[in-house]
Chains A and B, each alone.
Chain A
């Protein structure tokens, strides 16, 4: 079939983008597999021990330092949810259900997803910038030249720390959303909203609501850290490359988080989890 040059260019461009996307996902999957292999080898072989110092450092950087910003954002999410729902529920006499809705929405989805979005900027971009700067300063090449794996030394502690801290932060985030809703109802809304608020939330929530949120949080943590590491380690071109890597980390992380959240939601819906 004959195609005009413009059509051919379009097909070629779409094909190139698709191939680039597949190569990107393949590269990340390979990095995840290598990180997993080093993690298992580190657990099994004392000589290849997990280096606790860097892991603790990353946990502080990723987790402890972002507790404040995550809490602040999630309290506001709770405020927004409570106020947004108050008016539509009022005519139906259901304003007391605000606690139930905040519980489900917060624990199942908004806790992990908003925390992950905050971490993509707070931790993901920082990982990409740090590793990218190390590439520019020849530090990665120096590691490899000493027969030391950058995946073992740099990727494993960052991915593991982000994975663990993302789940811990999500637990805090869930309660901060609930707290935001409670404080709002206490300050602005009617007594039937805040009286029995915690009891209604407790009665509404099931263990699976909490667990499904934590599963997603873990996956989001893996996504954000892997994208940050991958973008950072493939930096080329000095400071400009580092800037591009940090930007792309945030963009790809947010897209990845939303897509993963959608996939999980479908799975949980189908399996009634």
Chain B
């Protein structure tokens, strides 16, 4: 087990990303990414907009497949599974999408009931009880009859989480769980993520760029930049990095700037230098 992994009973990773390259239109969005996620831990994947973190999440859940390298879940290569194998694996994990992704034509209760009705042999009464339990876990039991259009952003996320945990998954993926929420609601969602990890013992993979949230929920963190993971480590290591002075090492200072949210640093310098002189002086076409 690598030294930057928290002490867990089972040393085998549940997710393993191995030298993954993913290109869109010839452009490598992920360029040789490797990452391991261990049972029971909360891994937060951070990075700026367009760095490839959502692509990495979609590779992990089998929505996309790598051009090079492999993604393994529970020891199995996702790209080698057929549709049935992939579906069987999908029953073992749940996803909270950025928008909640509730089915708008169904009530909240029906949204949560759908995976139970389709993937279990439970009778209707049992499913209704299960739906109430799942909604209670996210504090929405009273809203079972409401339609998604009647819910606030935070409620949609909580409802999405109730649906994600309907089949008692072993892994929960969260895509930008705090995006677009006010600080209090964001903290409530963070608490739910911690509750899921603590009470249900699920492994969590959270993609976010909200640093307050990341530091609240993470056991380990990974920093993604320009399609590469430039640092993986325990939360404490990232906290130390955030609070330390500039080191002079570009990658370390880049992570530090991102964690602190500074307006000056390697990220800003790189952004400003990209093609600037050529655009101004080199006669770039308009």
Contact = CB atoms under 8 A, between A and B. Distances in A.
A141 B95 CA distance: 10
Contacts of B104: 134, 137, 139
Contacts of B95: 142, 145
Contacts of A144: 63, 90
B91 interface: yes
A7 interface: no
A26 to B, nearest CB: 18
Contacts of A138: 97-99, 101
Contacts of A137: 99, 101, 104
Contacts of B101: 137-139, 141-142
Contacts of B99: 137-138
Bin the interface of chain A by size.
10 to 19
- Where chain B touches its partner, the secondary structure class is mixed
A267 interface: no
Nearest to B84: A147
- Where chain A touches its partner, the secondary structure class is helix
Q: Considering residues A138, A141, A145, A148, which has the most beta carbons from chain B within 10 angstroms of its beta carbon?
A: A145
Interface in A61-89: none
Interface string B70-97: 0000000000000000111011001101
Nearest to A148: B118
A90 B86 CA distance: 70
Given A138-B97, A138-B98, A145 B103 contact: no
Given A139-B103, A139-B104, A141-B63, A146 B97 contact: no
A145 B63 contact: yes
B97 A148 contact: no
Interface in B88-130: 88, 90-91, 94-95, 97-99, 101-104, 114-115, 118-119
A134 B163 CA distance: 17
A142 B97 contact: yes
Contacts of A147: 86-88, 90-91, 119
B61 interface: yes
Interface string A143-155: 1111110000000
Interface in A123-146: 134, 137-139, 141-146
A141 B115 contact: no
B172 to A, nearest CB: 11
Given A139-B101, A141-B101, A148 B63 contact: no
Q: Considering residues A138, A139, A142, A144, which has the most beta carbons from chain B within 10 angstroms of its beta carbon?
A: A142
B29 to A, nearest CB: 15
Interface string A7-42: 000000000000000000000000000000000000
A137 B114 CA distance: 18
A144 B95 CA distance: 11
B253 to A, nearest CB: 35
A8 B99 CA distance: 46
Contact of A145 (B90, B114, B119): B90
Given A137-B104, A139-B103, A139-B104, A145 B98 contact: no
A56 to B, nearest CB: 13
Shortest 9 CB-CB contacts between residues of A and residues of B: A147-B87, A142-B101, A138-B101, A147-B90, A138-B97, A145-B95, A146-B115, A139-B101, A138-B99
Given A137-B104, A141-B101, 5 more contacts: A138-B101, A139-B104, A145-B61, A146-B163, A147-B119
5 contacts: A139-B102, A139-B103, A144-B63, A145-B94, A146-B118
